[in-house]
Amino acid sequence: MHAVKIYKDQNQTLNDSVRLTGSKSESNRLLILQALFERFSIDNLSNADDVKVMKKGLQTKSGTVDIHHAGTAMRFLTAYFATQKGSKVELTGSSRMKERPIEILVNGLRHLGAKIEYLEKEGFPPLQIQGTELTEYRVSLPADISSQYISALMLIAPSLPKGLEIDLVGKVTSVPYIKMTQGLLQSLGIEVLFQNNLIRIEPLNLEDLMVDKMVVESDWSAASYYYSIVALSSLGSSIELSVLKESSLQGDRVLATIYESFGVRTQFLKDKVRLEKIDTADTSAPLTLDLADAPDIAQTIAVTALGLGVCCDLYGLHTLPIKETDRLNAMKIELEKCGAKVRITADSLHLELAQISSNEAEIDTYQDHRMAMAFAPLSLRIPLQINQADVVSKSYPDFWEDLKRIGFQLSH
């Protein structure tokens, strides 16, 4: 599927339900822990490409592991393979992956005793990793980096002889993702302290493993696209999403609060949520948000705001330029195709004119799944063509089929 044309009548009231795939973030964390401790099963695992790549990588003991575009797999597997005595792997990925820095994580692992070499450009994949016993138990990392570096170390910590103490230097960002890792570790009976800038994780004795099965919650990031759809639909429209919890470990659960500004009410039911369009959005003043703890929903929010005619100022986006694409630059280009005026800085996006054009827009996705899915709801306002539409398989392979089921018209 190279491109898809998508359209839906915004005046047609929406009333439907969708079962979302398991959280990619939770799935990949639990797969690492399952590989380390082997004593529990996983239900509702995500069917995303990133998770399939992680599962395949974890079955490899030697040779080449190609994780393609999967940034989480690159970070988590780097730490995992470093602990696997006797293994020797070359960890590589797509051309974009070779541009995404990994030096901070590698330096931290080397400090612990890991044997990791760069095979091409210093500080970037591909890596050659020779598994060994990591004997040190203290490490320092900058706190304002991708939380995946921190989570990668947290996940291997309970398998180390003395556990691990991580000192985070500076202001900690993406805290919910760190707390997600903490929560999953604690669910298994692992002792974790996360206080101020210090994380301390004790080693796990297998006899103390508390569960034999873990159930993955559905993906709140995937839910964001349905929040956008309901926000752009007519009053009274609603959709139910499962399996989502009010007590979620996922940072993107903040959607429930943010989308109140767009007239969407969230009702938490048993293992699902009901979204309902109950009000029109206030267009009189810009919406200002700090998304440092939930950067993955920035694209969705910016597109929703444009569709509703709401200007917005989004801050805390310093990790977006090193994602699957430079998301800030990509958003500026694609939003402006739709009639917006956008200003970006190194860590913010400002939708200064939220006046949508009436013409069909052709949206490029830059090999980034979230670009495709974030823009799709805008087809409630104007006809869209989404290029490289199959990129959604990275995190949500059933996305286009689910949209068709709830009434969107798609042609390939």
Catalytically active residues are 296
Taking a C-beta distance cutoff of 8 angstroms, is the pair 411, 405 a contact? no
Q: Helices (DSSP H) in 252-339: which residue ranges? A: 255-258, 298-308, 327-337
Peptide bond into 176 cis (omega under 30): no
CA-CA distance, 329 to 337, in Å (whole number)?
13
CA-CA distance, 79 to 131, in Å (whole number)?
10
State the DSSP string of 184-200: HHHHTT--EEEETTEEE
Q: Find how far residue 355's CA is from the centre of its chain.
A: 29
Amino acid letter for position 18? V
Residue 239's DSSP bridge partners are 16, 275
State both tokens at 257.
Answer: 């609060």
CA-CA distance, 44 to 22, in Å (whole number)?
6
Structural element, H or E, at residue 63? strand 62-66
Taking a C-beta distance cutoff of 8 angstroms, is the pair 41, 214 a contact? yes
In degrees and rounded to multiples of 5, residue 209 shows phi and psi of -60, 125
Peptide bond into 243 cis (omega under 30): yes
Return the closest-CA partner of residue 108 out of 69, 151, 57. 151
State the sign of the Cα–Cα–Cα–Cα dihedral 254, 260, 264, 267.
Answer: positive
State both tokens at 279.
Answer: 């009000």
CA-CA distance, 81 to 61, in Å (whole number)?
8
Structural element, H or E, at residue 201? strand 198-201
